[in-house]
Amino acid sequence: MNGLAKTYYFDTSIWLDFFEHRDEPNLPKGRWAHELVNKIIRNDDKIIYSDNVIIELETLGYSSYDIAHLLNKLRSILIYVESHLKQLGKAKDLALKRNVPQRDALHALIARDNKATLVTLDNHFQKLRDIAEPQKPQDLISP
């Protein structure tokens, strides 16, 4: 890894855009996700993913096997982290105070605590900008 390597943290929706090639008219989310992953690979950067992402994917119907299979292809650029009790408590508190989903609050905390760029298209994260500054994939792929 080069000395200037960056770390990114994708919220679950970005992972879904990537896995499912979720493009919409005038909103090529799947393409953006793929282009960002390709840029991360080219730059020898890393993507942090967490137990929070895994839980959300399982809630949406992905099996542990499917998740492992999908992530295995990217293993060389991935770093797995587990959320801890302090983050879970803080996420619960933030969710109540700022009217955001608790898992989104947890994503922001995990990104911050791992000094990673939070990648999301979800507007909830605007309420958490002081925790982790949300970045859109399409803004990160342009040179």
pLDDT, one tens digit per residue, over 118-127 is 999 999 899 9
Contact 9, 75 (CB under 8 A): no
What pLDDT was estimated at residue 5? 83
Domain annotation covers residue 59: yes
Contact 14, 33 (CB under 8 A): yes
Domain annotation covers residue 2: no
pLDDT, one tens digit per residue, over 23-60 is 999 999 999 999 999 999 999 999 999 999 999 999 99
Domain annotation covers residue 105: yes
Contact 81, 50 (CB under 8 A): yes
Domain annotation covers residue 89: yes
Domain interval for residue 61: 7-141
Token couple for 114:
């791992």
User: pTM here?
Assistant: 0.94
What pLDDT was estimated at residue 3? 56
pLDDT of 143 over the 70 cut: no
Confidence of residue 82 (pLDDT cuts 50, 70, 90): very high
In 60-134, alpha helices (H): 64-72, 85-98, 102-113
Total structural domains within the chain: 1
Return the CATH number at 59.
3.40.50.1010
Element (H, E) at 124: none
